[in-house]
Structure 1
Amino acid sequence: MYVAVKGGERAIDNAHAWLAEERRGDASVPELSVAQIREQMTLAVNRVMAEGSLYDPDLAALAIKQARGDLIEAVFLIRAYRTTLPRFGASRPMDTGTMACDRRVSATFKDAPGGQVLGPTFDYTHRLLDFKLAADGEVSPAPEVADAKPSKDTPHIMEFLDREGLMQRDTDSKTPPRDLTREPLELPATRDLRLQALTRGDEGFVLGMAYSTQRGYARNHAFVAELRIGKVAVEMDIPELGFAIEIGEVELTECETVNQFAGSKTEPPQFTRGYGLVFGMSERKAISMALVDRALRWEELGEDNLGAPAQDAEFVLYHADNIQATGFLEHIKLPHYVDFQSELELIRKLRREATAAAQDVAREAAE
């Protein structure tokens, strides 16, 4: 018979103390500071901010330290903390056309209006381990370039396709967007809710869904019309002043993909777009988000549903959230003694009945 492990609160306290000791590691090795994590593990910090729905690099770095590098646990910590914060207003929609771009590339136009800016990227690295880093070697500073400053007010490339009437125009909804951080997801979900769910979704899951669309599970070949990374001002209307003021700025990654569209009874052949917007420098996530966004638009565009996973809004949106997934998955390691006992008794009963039936058959055969 299975019995509950004894110890209770004392055992839990000791487990927490042991966890803290494991987190610290060898005390002879200098401890990582929050500032070091924030400045040198920027991409991890950006991911935690995006999936935690809270733009605060210091808190994200602290969560990573506390979680021992487990980014999903860090996201959980950030979301839990976020629920304690008061909300005193809402900012204006951000104009990414005014982004001060550190990086801005296009895979569709070589001579993109406003120019291409490679910026800091892994794209052209050789993926060889740099053992100078293991020796704590100093990194040589980037060369000074006269025009290396972030470019401002860079027009979106999609605007130039819009002028020729080649892009399907997205209609502006008259209904204010709902807030997924305050209301549960309900289906059918409008595009604004789908985009919120994708930007908060687990990067690995969204990447897998996006990859599936490229392998034919949605028949959705996309080109990256534009990928841009930079800082955008956050403005807020102040009723007492009667105008908006800038209260800060955030770093964003924005991706717009362009996809073919054969047209419909009411629409001529044209291009359609997929869209991704993520906190921080998160290229992989933004591109993945844009691909999945476009795949989920099949119904509104009058396309056929090919039965692809990325076209199933319920499958994608309900399984993208890593905190929901983690909670449901990890709860099975907690005590389920009563449940298991009922299963155990059921199996024993079925085996007894099967054995008795077999014995009856054997007796009848012997007679």
Structure 2
Amino acid sequence: MKLLESYNLGGLRLRNRVVMAPLTRSRATDDVANDMTAVYYGQRATAGLIISEGSPISREGQGYLFNPGIYTPEQLAGWRKSTDAVHQAGGLIFAQLWHVGRVSHTSIQSDGAAPVSASSKVARGALAFGYDQSGKPAFVPTSVPRQLSTEEIARLIGDFVTAAANAIEAGFDGVELHGAGGYIFEQFLNPAVNDRSDQYSATPLANRMRFLLETVDAVAARIGANRVGIRFSPFGELFDMPAYADAEHTYLELGRELAERKIAYVHLMDQSGFRLEDAILPANAHFPRLLEKLRDSFHTGAIIVAGGLTRERANQLIADGVIDLAAFGEPFISNPDLVARFEHGWPLAPADRATFYGGGAKGYIDYPVYVSETKADTGSPDEKC
């Protein structure tokens, strides 16, 4: 099965092509990865590659409480426990570097400052996880952001570079820039959000891509392009990110630019069917077409796709040369031995959504590996992964 074959990712040998996708779990008290975090990642280290949950690059970049950051000595020491656990189990792990931009709240920001973004447009309908009026952790409407000045953007790029260097110091094998989900990079890329008038404006396209590409260049110069990946969610409309006409062209052009830079991978998230609280996002007909075209655009590194994959679908996409690596999110929550279950055709355990965010060990590190007396259970070939 192609999915279980090894792969050379920028000089790193992945023992299979199964990627654990980044998954916010909100278990980090004081925003520091802890012993339980290390157990969680160590349990799942049979994946060819683990991409960590989003790790805020600064207090400014945080939009949700209890996520382990990567900007203080205590946070680096906390993450070292997880990277050590993964490496001891023979795995590899990249840190996802995260700045939420406008998807934040003044109660999280230093001195109650406004969140920053490409624009001053509020993310309507979006929620941050901060403190309510009584000072208790709660989902709260995002605050009105402040548009970054032109001069501040260089500082923000520097924050990403420092976070990348911190990740390597903490033992990560590389970093993934979080360019998906309606966060800071996408706030510059989306012309319906970006209302700037400087060299980072929405038009022409080169301006709109400038912040992201300058960040990639600076991070690559610090840690090496072969240790840098980026995640996108083309056509995603989370957190008030309106659809726009030239989205496909935007991401194909980004693919060409990133190919020239020879980064390790581009990671696409298909948000079709994505569950956001009680809403299910509709299928997006544009995504499969973009995925088919991306290989010609981004031809120097790996293509990863995530979102609603089955074992069979992932294997077929790899066999057809459309993608190189397949990322799985929710299945890794409840199946720490997901790779073995794929290999043997064992059934997948369902995940308890009530324990996805926050809490303790329950629903985090207490999911068992599969035990079968006969080892003959093949599961369902159409089981959604």
TM class by shorter chain equals under 0.3
Larger Rg: 1
When normalised by structure 2's length, the TM-score is 0.24
